[in-house]
Copies of this chain bind each other. A is one copy, B any other.
Amino acid sequence: MRAPSRKSREPKVDLSVRIGPMELRNPVLTASGTFGYGDEYAHVVPLPSLGGVITKTVTLEPRAGNPPQRIAETAGGMLNTIGLENVGLLRFRSEKLPRLRSLGAVIVASIGGETPGELERLLGALGGEPGIAGFEINFSCPNIARGGARYWAVPRRLERTLARLRPLTRGAILAKLSPDVTSVGDLAIACEQGGADAVTAVNTFVGMALDLARRSSKLSRATGGLSGPAIKPLALQRCCEAARAVRIPVIGSGGILSGLDALEFMAVGAAAVQVGTASFIRPRAALQVLEEMEAFLRERGVRRIDDWRGSAMPSGDAVDEDPGRKPGLRAVTIVRADRSPRNRRGVRSPAFSRGRESRRA
């Protein structure tokens, strides 16, 4: 196994993954807001080699974003309060999309709205657009005054909104969740029941940093969203919790810098991952993640990424169930997998059963 000659003769690892109707070459996507509209890094990252490119969240109207200071570094991470600066629906469709299509990227368009109605109008306008493989609904921006993470952290609202969006596209619908909730699992279940093809876990964590000299936030707003390696352990747990709660694929996001980081998310059940802040540090980060992931799997003789996925799902006694929880609630936190409602109905989540198999192998 160690001789390089043999290794190079080994077959390629099958990295393809399926997210709803999308068949992706590999599970590495760029995270919304960290890769522009997709073309900005195209001279250093050949876009078709990535699993997909998730574009900056687009809103109905263009937004100029929040005033400076918009970012602040913290230990192992950064806070941002960009405030969804974006070109708006019309320019996205007329200028950004054609360029991105011409580069051969698998395009996932991120959309954000302050109300379910706004999201409907956005998806109505883009849902049939050729060349968009899927849509990520940003239910979790911590940096806008209305329609941000807090507004959407209500399971019923998510479910109803997704049910209204579902008919508007045949593309994949990804629901991007905030981590700042008591149970990401509950939100994930609501998304699944509303008809989402996948959930993305997670967006940034809300945080603060002060400038003591000015006795005020370092940012132009009181709070921002924390991203980067600092949040990786937390994002990993939330991703795992979501993956155990639903059967639809979960896409991991939060602090992924390397292929090994990505494999951690997939080992706890993620079907794919997103590379975010890492691209600011190394523009080729997503490609590097992909290469490292493949090299690691090849070296260990893992032929298909599917065999890796879920292979480290915890066995279940991790965090206590809430004994006082009302039975009517659909809540699954990170409790015993075989007690989750899905499993009580005798259905194993694909991630979980796959994990079992590969552990047997």
> What are the residues of chain B within 8 A of A228 when measuring CB–CB?
75
Contacts A180-B182, A322-B150 given: A237-B223 contact, CB under 8 Å?
Answer: yes
Contacts A76-B229, A207-B236 given: A320-B223 contact, CB under 8 Å?
Answer: no
Please measure, in the bound complex, the distance between the C-alpha atom of A321 and the C-alpha atom of B144, giving whole angstroms.
Answer: 11
Contact A232 B74 (CB under 8 A): yes
* A56 contacts partner chain B, Cβ-Cβ < 8 Å: no
Q: Give A141's nearest chain B residue, CB to CB.
A: B320
Contacts A145-B317, A150-B320, A314-B217 given: A207-B226 contact, CB under 8 Å?
Answer: no
Stretch of A82-90, A117-125, A262-270 at the chain-chain interface: A262-270
Contact A206 B314 (CB under 8 A): no
Question: CB within 8 A of A226: which of B182, B233, B267, B315?
Answer: B233
List CB contacts (< 8 Å) of A306-340 with chain B. Answer: 311-312, 314-315, 317-324, 333-334
Contact B234 A206 (CB under 8 A): yes
Contact B322 A154 (CB under 8 A): yes
Contacts A230-B76, A314-B222 given: A263-B212 contact, CB under 8 Å?
Answer: yes
Q: Give A234's nearest chain B residue, CB to CB.
A: B207
The interface on chain A, measured as residues whose beta carbon lies within 8 A of the other chain's beta carbons, has a size of 67
Q: Give A229's nearest chain B residue, CB to CB.
A: B75
> What are the residues of chain B within 8 A of A217 when measuring CB–CB?
312, 314
Q: Give A226's nearest chain B residue, CB to CB.
A: B233
Give the dominant DSSP class at A's interface: loop
Contact A75 B74 (CB under 8 A): no
* A164 contacts partner chain B, Cβ-Cβ < 8 Å: no
Contact B333 A150 (CB under 8 A): yes
Contacts A215-B312, A222-B314 given: A182-B153 contact, CB under 8 Å?
Answer: yes
Contact A151 B320 (CB under 8 A): yes
Interface string of A153-164 (1 = CB under 8 A from B): 110010000000
Contact A233 B209 (CB under 8 A): yes
Question: Shortest distance in angstroms between A278's beta carbon and chain B's nearest beta carbon?
Answer: 12
Other 11 A-B pairs with CB < 8 A, given A75-B75, A208-B240, A210-B267: A75-B229, A75-B230, A76-B229, A151-B324, A154-B322, A157-B324, A206-B319, A209-B236, A221-B318, A223-B319, A230-B231
Q: List 19 A-B contacts (CB under 8 A).
A: A74-B76, A76-B76, A148-B320, A149-B319, A151-B323, A153-B182, A154-B324, A180-B182, A206-B234, A206-B237, A207-B236, A208-B236, A209-B232, A209-B264, A210-B236, A212-B260, A212-B263, A221-B314, A222-B318
A residues whose Cβ falls under 8 Å from a Cβ of B: 74-77, 79, 142, 144-151, 153-154, 157, 180-182, 205-210, 212, 215-217, 221-224, 226, 228-234, 236-237, 240, 255, 260, 263-264, 267-268, 296, 311-312, 314-315, 317-324, 333-334, 359
